[in-house]
Amino acid sequence: MENSHPRITIEPGKRGGKPCIRGLRITVYDVLGWLASGMSNAEILEDFPDLAPEDLQAALAFAADREHHVVAVSA
């Protein structure tokens, strides 16, 4: 899948090639996990000052786009 999200980077040698935020070692899945655990955007940004509000939005957009492109396989 082509990455059309400029704030999301995928580098084979970084975090096992998982999608990261702007080349940081913070993955999209880290952000999703923090949000799913109940952390607010403000709490995440306070705990991880390298992140910007746009990064959190980009992680959500990337995940939504990826989910939209999942191909279901029937058994």
27 backbone dihedrals φ, ψ, rounded to 5°: -90, 160
Mean pLDDT over 7-31 rounds to: 95
pLDDT digits (tens, 9 = 90+) for 22-74: 999 999 999 999 999 999 999 999 999 999 999 999 999 999 988 766 555 66
Higher-confidence residue: 65 or 4?
Answer: 65
Residue 54 near residue 7 (C-beta atoms within 8 A): yes
Tell whether pTM > 0.85.
no
- pLDDT over 50 at 1, yes or no: no
Give me the helices (H) in the chain, please: 28-36, 41-47, 53-68
So where are the chain's domains? 8-63
Q: Does domain 8-63 match CATH 1.10.3210.10?
A: no
User: Residue written as tokens 């059309």?
Assistant: 4
